[in-house]
Amino acid sequence: MSTNARNLALAAAGALALLTLPYWAKDLYWLHLATLIGAYWILIAGLNLVTGYAGQLSIGHVGLLAVGAYGFAILAGTHGLDPFLSLLLCGALGGIAGLLLGLPSLRLPGFYFAMATMAFALIVTELSLALGGLTGGGTGLSVPGFPSPMNSPWGYYWLVLAVAAGVTWLTWNVARFMWGRALIAIRDSEVAAASAGIGLFRLKLTVFVFSGITAGIGGGLFASLQSYITPDTFVFEIGLFFFVCIIIGGRGTILGPFIGTVILTALPEIVAPLAKLGAFFYGLMLLIVVLLIPEGVGRLVEVLIRRFRGEPHRSHEVKPDLPRLASVLARKEDAA
């Protein structure tokens, strides 16, 4: 009961901190970073259900981000539609793209699926260049902002925060109830999950389409934050980045990937030499996490907190009791 209350208090404090961020952030640059993290998180929260829960390793979500971003730039910019309506349509567009990608590829085994998503990202870049009449080709498109009061950095931050909170709440609900359990079952063993009566493909597809919707919305908000998009914006490394955020944060949780997103976005900004290493840094982090703490940093923090609190450490390990065995054996020998 008391831990529950404490968790609730912690969550409330975190929410308050996020809500008041524009008042205590050092300057607009940090506010911009926070907004960027928010836009990324909207995508990552959805991707987390696909990768962290259902275990489908999509390394090409940057393609879906690009679909949303271009969708927003074309709808709200070229055609002058209402930005909020455009954002909703972006979600629909991302969902459709997710469906088109998921339908053939989610039937495939892991590596095949990963490669299919990577190829999808390359195809989106290719098409955004080739369909110059729609996307501006290599020159790209200017992206409009939102109407007042969302046109100020503060207003925009709150908008992104609100959407991010909504998406987080949705994924949290999915993860907590039967769905989430089913997804984890798929991740850990597809065969066992199927034998327990889980409709594998439909469930995977539903989650994947959901992640397409969040990627579309995240892409629209990302584009508006960037104010200009070109095909060069959506490099493969960003897709890798999303993916690494989840793995490093820890699969099967929501807080872990969130921490991963915050750290991986902010760290290269604070420590300049890391930015120089670029993708090498992401690769190294990924390797370390996979080899040493496959449950992710979030899990590590959890364990450390538990240890710090001094809660009893429950070991599931069965250790052989050697002295007792020796004594039993000795007795047997005596008998013989």
- 1, 178, 291, 336: which one contacts another protein (CB under 8 A)? 291
Q: How many CA atoms lie within 13 A of 221 on its CB side?
A: 31
Alpha-carbon distance of 155 to 158, in angstroms, equals 5
Burial of 299 (0-12, 13-18, 19+ CB in 10 A): middle
Which range binds another protein by CB under 8 A, 6-14, 206-214, 225-233, 305-313? 225-233
To another protein, the closest distance from the beta carbon of 129 in angstroms equals 6
Q: Fill in the DSSP letter of residue 1.
A: -
Using the minimum distance from each CB to another protein, give the nearer residue, 59 or 89: 59
Quick one: which of 243, 195, 235, 288 has its CA closest to 55? 243
Site for another protein in 58-117 (CB under 8 A): 59, 104, 107-108, 110-112, 114-116
Stretch that binds another protein, among 4-12, 171-179, 278-286, 323-331 (CB under 8 A): 278-286
Asked whether position 147 contacts another protein by CB under 8 A, the answer is no
46, 163 Cβ separation under 8 angstroms: no
DSSP assignment letter at 20: T
Instruction: Find out whether 64 and 98 touch, Cβ atoms under 8 Å.
Output: yes
Question: Least distance from C-beta 64 to another protein, angstroms?
Answer: 16
Using a 10 angstrom Cβ sphere, with 0-12 exposed, 13-18 middle and 19 or more buried, the burial of residue 194 is: middle
**279 touches another protein by CB under 8 A:** yes
Rule CB under 8 A: say whether 316 interacts with another protein. no
CA 315 to chain centroid: 31
Binding string, 26-45, against another protein, x = CB under 8 A? Answer: xxxxx-xx--x---------
Indicate the residue among 137 and 155 with the shorter CB distance to another protein.
137
Our finding on whether 190 is near another protein (CB under 8 A) is: yes
CB of residue 11 vs another protein: minimum separation in angstroms?
29
Least distance in angstroms from the C-beta of 291 to another protein = 6
To another protein, the closest distance from the beta carbon of 241 in angstroms equals: 10
Binders of another protein in range 108-127 (CB under 8 A): 108, 110-112, 114-116, 118-120, 122-123, 126-127
Residues contacting 88, CB < 8 A, separation 6+? none
Q: Which of 99, 286, 300, 301 binds another protein (CB under 8 A)?
A: 286
Q: Which stretch binds another protein (CB under 8 A): 41-49, 79-87, 161-169, 281-289?
A: 281-289
Provide the minimum distance between the beta carbon of 192 and another protein in the complex, in angstroms, as a whole number: 9
23: exposed, middle or buried (Cβ count in 10 Å: 0-12, 13-18, 19+): exposed
Three-state SS string over 134-145 comes to HHCHHHCEECCC
Can you tell me the distance from the alpha carbon of 116 to that of 143, in angstroms, rounded to the nearest whole number?
29
Let me know if 155 is exposed, middle or buried by CB neighbors in 10 A (0-12, 13-18, 19+): middle
Is residue 274 within the footprint of another protein (CB under 8 A)?
A: no
CA–CA distance, 202 with 213 (Å, rounded to integer): 16
In 115-154, which positions are buried (b, 16+ CB within 10 angstroms) versus exposed (e)? Answer: ebbbebbeebbebbbeeeeebbeeebbebbebeeebeeeb
Give min distance, CB of 4 to another protein, in A.
Answer: 31
Kindly state whether residue 132 participates in binding another protein, applying the rule CB under 8 A: yes
Which residues would be at the binding site for another protein (CB under 8 A)? 26-30, 32-33, 36, 55, 57, 59, 104, 107-108, 110-112, 114-116, 118-120, 122-123, 126-127, 129-130, 132, 137-140, 142, 190-191, 226-233, 235-238, 240, 247, 269, 272, 275-280, 282-284, 286-287, 290-291, 294
